[in-house]
Amino acid sequence: MMTLLAIETSCDETAAAVLRGYGEILSHTVFSQAEIHSKFGGVVPEVASRNHLQSAPWVIDEALKTAGVEVGELDTVAATNGPGLASALLVGSAVAKGIAIGAGKPFMAINHLEGHMLSPFFGRQDIPPHISLVVSGGHTLLFDVHGFGDYRLLGRTLDDAAGEAFDKVAKLLGLGYPGGVRIDRLARDGNANRFDFPRGMIDSGDYNFSFSGLKTAVRVFLEKHGTAEADLPDLCASFQAAILDVLLAKLFRALKESGHQSAAISGGVSANAALRSRAADRASKEGVVLHTAPPGLHTDNALMIAYAAAHHAAAGITSPFDEDIYPNFDPKRLQAS
Ligand code: KG4
Ligand code: ZN
């Protein structure tokens, strides 16, 4: 069985993991820089890269020590090479290449979004046909997946990503960064029907999304009415319901139109309690199997990169040592070559 080391540094998590086969977790280390960036109100790219540079050595060392694996015992070294912050991606890719070259092992460049997309199937060797909704801080994507390496993009956000909308609205509400999880918590005690916020593009007839109108609607509402502490739970619940209504409407329409029996939701926003319970309820009503990642694999981590790398290894795909990084999203880069 393959033993893989994976390194993830696309945004503000410095992460390393050692995986054996498709599901034996030997180690899984995530150092979140969120606290460092929170005083700036969001991720500052250069601060992120400098922190990756300082943290990657101990994060990787800890992952290898916890796994009880020597570099010489690894079959391959993988790193995220995009999409993400250019200077942050460079650190993880350079470190992974250095380890691979030093140890005489193959290097594997992995797409961050493929890592998220496959994470709901963690542990499995097969990727069933399904509709995949990826909702992260940087992306909102809907795919028709026919199997590993066969991903057809159905739609994407035309402006803000779902996680970005959570973070921006959290900032407007004075909840700080990162805001998604704080809105999630407050919304649990709120009335989602109290305020009526727009469901952008819900009837657009395509699979694209738009969340910037919703963010503006919240801002205009707050300018008019202010943020009374007592209204926070209802505001969070009402805003969250507007996002979830659109995500779920498009996901389930794609399931109906494709005829697929399985759905997967991944990315940081898939940690959201209301999204998970609403998606699960609707899936059971419509006779669809819903897959979500195990806890710890929703937000950025290196285990999902290692798991995607295991599929690449099985397909005989490695990357050259002069492989570049790709900061921008390009659906063509997701296809297995
Ligand atoms: O996948 P991820 O860790 O990073 C990217 O690839 O972008 O996603 C981070 C995003 C952030 O916008 C964060 O606010 C959001 O996921 N998020 C949540 C929750 N936990 C994280 N959004 C809503 N509810 C949550 N529980
Ligand atoms: Zn991510």
CATH number of the domain within which 14 lies: 3.30.420.40
Ligand 1 in reach of 167 Cβ (< 6 A): yes
Kindly provide the residue ranges of all beta strands, DSSP E only, lying in the chain, ordered along the sequence: 3-8, 13-20, 24-32, 76-82, 107-111, 130-135, 140-147, 150-156, 262-266, 289-292
Q: Is the same domain home to 47 and 172?
A: no
Ligand 1 in reach of 181 Cβ (< 6 A): yes
Q: In this structure, is residue 86 part of a structural domain?
A: yes
Ligand 1 in reach of 84 Cβ (< 6 A): no
Which ligand has the minimum distance to the alpha carbon of residue 162?
Answer: 1
Distances (CA, A) of 127 to 78, 132, 146, 151, 227: 20, 11, 8, 11, 45
Name the pTM for this structure.
0.96
Q: Is the same domain home to 113 and 58?
A: yes
The string of pLDDT tens digits covering residues 33-72 is 989 998 888 899 999 999 999 999 999 999 999 999 999 9
Number of independent structural domains in the chain: 2
Q: In this structure, is residue 123 part of a structural domain?
A: no
The string of pLDDT tens digits covering residues 206-247 is 999 999 999 999 999 999 998 887 799 999 999 999 999 999
Q: Is the same domain home to 250 and 304?
A: no
Q: Is the same domain home to 136 and 205?
A: yes
The string of pLDDT tens digits covering residues 306-332 is 999 999 999 999 999 999 999 999 988
The string of pLDDT tens digits covering residues 200-217 is 999 999 999 999 999 999
The model's confidence at residue 336, banded by pLDDT at 50, 70 and 90, is low
Q: Is the same domain home to 274 and 139?
A: yes
Best mutation site among 166, 214, 292, 305 for ligand 1 pocket (most ligand atoms within 8 Å of CB): 166
How far is residue 319's CA from residue 151's CA, in Å, rounded to a whole number?
A: 20
Q: In terms of residue numbers, what domain contains 56?
A: 3-118+297-334
Ligand 1 centroid – CA 320 distance (Å): 31
Q: Whose CA is nearest to atom 21 of ligand 1?
A: 268
Q: Whose CA is nearest to atom 8 of ligand 1?
A: 268
How far is residue 259's CA from residue 257's CA, in Å, rounded to a whole number?
A: 6
Q: Is the same domain home to 275 and 204?
A: yes
